[in-house]
Amino acid sequence: MADKIVTVAEFPDSAQATLAMQRLSDHGIKSVLTGENATNIYAGLPPISQVKLQTFETQAEQAKQILESREPESEEQ
């Protein structure tokens, strides 16, 4: 049976959503964004203006934990 796609987070703009998507990618989680174009066309009109970050249901809990964690990004010194 195929794994379902679920929404793990919503963002007011595509820039924030893209950063979150990259963070998941850095942890090996594949994800997609939906609603990017709507935020450009209908900016400021909720709920149309929300960009949704989606991933496979089997990775959703891990993705939420990554997005909610406040661990500092590694910095080279």
Q: What is the domain range of residue 10?
A: 5-68
Query: Is 73 part of a structural domain of the chain?
Result: no
Query: Is 74 part of a structural domain of the chain?
Result: no
Query: Is 75 part of a structural domain of the chain?
Result: no
Distances (CA, A) of 26 to 2, 59, 77: 24, 14, 20
How far is C-alpha 27 from the chain's CA centre?
13
pTM above 0.85, yes or no: no
Max distance between CA atoms of the chain, in angstroms, equals 47
**β-sheet with 5-11: strand ranges across:** 5-11, 51-56, 31-34
Query: Is 77 part of a structural domain of the chain?
Result: no
At 20-68, the pLDDT tens digits run 999 999 999 999 999 887 666 666 666 666 889 999 999 999 999 999 9
